[in-house]
Structure 1
Amino acid sequence: MSDESAWAGLPDAPGLCRICRHPSLNRTKRGTTYLRCTRAKWDERLPRYPRLPVRDCIGFEAADHARDPR
């Protein structure tokens, strides 16, 4: 699955997660795509599976490949 098709498979727009360095996109065998925050593994202030779209996040760090989240 290409990067763009993975993002397109999310049920809602990702918001800030789209340009953050911490998201991990996963797809189930049934075709459901979900986003997991990898920073939540060590930063307990963050939800492991954030509610989308993320509009504000204390753990946000722009990715090197950052794009407009809209």
Structure 2
Amino acid sequence: MSEADLWDGLAVPPGLCRWCAHPSLNRTRHGVTYMRCTRSSWDERLPRYPGLPVVECVGFEQAGG
């Protein structure tokens, strides 16, 4: 399964997380896709599973940059 398929599998648009360097996408065997913020493991200001869509985030870092 491609990363684009995982993003498309989210129930709502992810907002900023789509372009961030820190999301981790997972799909359960039942077909539910969810996103976890990996930065939350060292940055206590951020929730592990943010409410989507994220429109503002203190931990946002552009992916690939």
Q: Report the TM-score range of the alignment, normalised by the length of the smaller protein.
A: over 0.9
Counterpart for residue 35 of structure 1: 35
- For these two proteins, the number of residue pairs brought into alignment is 65
Residue 3 of structure 2 is matched in structure 1 by: 3
1:24 maps to a residue whose letter is S
Structure 2 residue 39 is the aligned partner of structure 1 residue 55 = no
TM-score scaled to structure 2, two decimals? 0.96
* TM-score when normalising by structure 1: 0.90
Looking at structure 1, the residues matched to 37 and 58 of structure 2 have their Cα atoms a distance apart, in angstroms, of 12
Gaps of 5+ in 1: 66-70
Runs of at least 5 residues in structure 2 that lack an aligned partner in the other structure: none
Could you report, residue by residue, the CA deviation over 1:27-56 in whole angstroms, capped at 9, with x for unpaired residues?
111010000000000111000000000000
